[in-house]
Structure 1
């Protein structure tokens, strides 16, 4: 999977938006104004995803191409090396779905109602 594939997949999620909150070298993907994924453009093969601590531990133990995301909260954000052969498109999509759902589930009832999911 390329970063453009990851971008397209993130934007295919209902009500997902993208912006550049940290300058022109980082694209963030949001649901309800909260970030669920990111692409650090200065590192073109990295994809950053929100995760829960249990998933983080499992993924880091299983895949050498998944590690703690640089500059993000430990065990709540993982970064994936998309150019590593052990990382399939299906895995990236699954982890993206999990990140999206994790953030969506933490939205308030009012925020969810505004999205009309």
Structure 2
């Protein structure tokens, strides 16, 4: 998956916005104003930070130690940095990790906020 495909996949989800809250080199994807994916625009090796259930995050890190690591500049218990350049993970696996991150963020919203955003 390249940056273009990552961006299109994230933006195809309901109520998603893209922002540059950390400067012009970091693209953030939010649902209902809450971050679920974050990627650098000027990195030599494309990666994305994704929210993850803590137990699952640890399992993924053990299974893919060079591809999935604790989230860079994030809460390392709840976020993973996933490298996309090495081809270890298929596009389908990456999409599932993005879906998981999105679902966790939506699940953490109040019913009122979900309804406000049509989720």
TM-score tier, shorter chain, comes to over 0.9
In structure 2, list runs of 5 or more residues that go unmatched.
none
* RMSD, matched Cα: 1.0
Superposed counterparts of 1:73-88, under 5 Å:
73-88=75-90
In structure 1, list runs of 5 or more residues that go unmatched.
none
Question: CA offsets, 1:67-89, max 9 Å, x none?
Answer: 01211011211111101121110
Superposed counterparts of 1:16-95, under 5 Å:
16-43=16-43, 44-63=45-64, 64-95=66-97
Check conservation: 1:3, 1:82, Cα contact below 8 A. no
Question: CA offsets, 1:21-67, max 9 Å, x none?
Answer: 11111110011100000111232511111111011101101112010
Divergent runs of 4+, >3 A = none
Q: How many residues align?
A: 117
How far apart in 1 are the matches of 2:71 and 2:112?
30
How far apart in 1 are the matches of 2:93 and 2:11?
17
TM-score by length of 1: 0.95
How far apart in 1 are the matches of 2:36 and 2:46?
18
How far apart in 2 are the matches of 1:69 and 1:3?
18
